[in-house]
Amino acid sequence: MYIDSHVNLHAPQYDEDRQDVIERARHAGVGLMVNICDRLSNFEAVYDIAAQNSDIWATVGTHPHEARENPELKATDIIDLAQRPKIVGIGECGLDYHYDFSPRPIQRAVFREHCIAARATRLPLVVHTRLADEDCWDILSDEYTKGEFKILLHCYTSGPELAQKAESLKAWYSVSGIATFKPAQDVRDIIKDMPDDKIIIETDCPYLAPIPMRGRRNEPAFIPHIYQKLAEIKNWPLEEVRTKTHKAFYELFDRIPKP
């Protein structure tokens, strides 16, 4: 079995064949997927996919690109939605200073509310950070001192400094198809040094299709290529990749029953 810890099955790229994509994933051996919320206005669409499929779970949150949609967002707004039975995480949230689709002060304020919600619900926080490592760390570490919560640095492409600091907060890290890209040796070097018991795997589909699918719309069915790349990077047998990453996954997303 494979686990895809980060999918975006509600995305418009799947509007014409969503159920076919899900069936292809199952045929490829993907036994569990987590559908990630990108903004609260999409929450019902995100959740419906989880509600209709026993092997799909969901999160609730607002991506930094979309923070401008709810500039006055409060943790209670997220906490209320997190009571749904198939919600297993808070996010995707964080900071993105590369595109700056939302003003930075709004990104920071909305991100902090997600941290508060994660602490209150005891659900893991799915964090996106791009060219914003210093501010991301300042917010995470400050909120963590007020009470611990689980942190996942998803699709990790930041530098070694944030990765090392995050270890002090007992963070998890997820590996995506970026690890297969030829120019991404710096990412592979960081993955090699990640704690062995804190790594999980994702596609982030429909984005970031791994080699040899690069250039195509990504799907959960492509995740075996990422498992294989992690095996190469860590010098683990494939079965050890499954054992270690699945154990880390269930420890992070502990609302999901173990099989």
pLDDT, tens digit (0-9, with 9 covering 90-100), for 20-76: 999 999 999 999 999 999 999 999 999 999 999 999 999 999 999 999 999 999 999
Distance CA 72, CA 129 (A): 21
User: For the chain, how many helices (H) and strands (E)?
Assistant: 9, 8
What b/e readout covers 167-176, taking b as 16+ CB neighbours within 10 angstroms?
eebebbbbbb
pLDDT tens, position by position, 170-225: 999 999 999 999 999 999 999 999 999 999 999 999 999 999 999 999 999 999 99
State the pLDDT confidence band at 259, using cuts at 50, 70 and 90.
Answer: confident
Cα separations (Å) of 186 from 40, 153, 193, 224, 233? Answer: 34, 16, 11, 22, 12
Q: Which amino acid is at 113?
A: E
Residue 1 has pLDDT above 90, yes or no: yes
Rounded Cα–Cα distance for residues 205 and 181 (Å): 15
Q: What is the pLDDT of residue 206?
A: 98
Distance CA 163, CA 171 (A): 9
Q: How do the domains of the chain map onto residue ranges? A: 2-252
From residue 91, give the alpha-carbon distance in Å to each of 99, 126, 153, 188. Answer: 19, 5, 11, 25
d(C-alpha 137, C-alpha 159), whole Å: 12
- Which residues, other chains included, contact 94 with Cβ-Cβ below 8 Å and sequence gap of 6+? 63, 64, 107, 111, 127, 128, 129, 132, 136
- 2-252 domain in CATH 3.20.20.140? yes
At 123, is the pLDDT very low, low, confident or very high (cuts 50, 70, 90)? very high
Burial of 228 per CB tally in 10 Å (0-12, 13-18, 19+): middle
Is-contact 228 238, C-beta < 8 A? Answer: yes
Q: Which helix (H) or strand (E) holds 96?
A: strand 87-96
Q: How far apart are CA 27 and CA 97, in angstroms?
A: 38
pLDDT tens for 224-237 read 999 999 999 999 99
Q: Is the pTM of this model over 0.95?
A: yes
Scanning the chain, the segments in alpha helix (DSSP H) are: 18-27, 43-52, 75-81, 104-121, 133-145, 160-167, 185-193, 224-234, 238-252
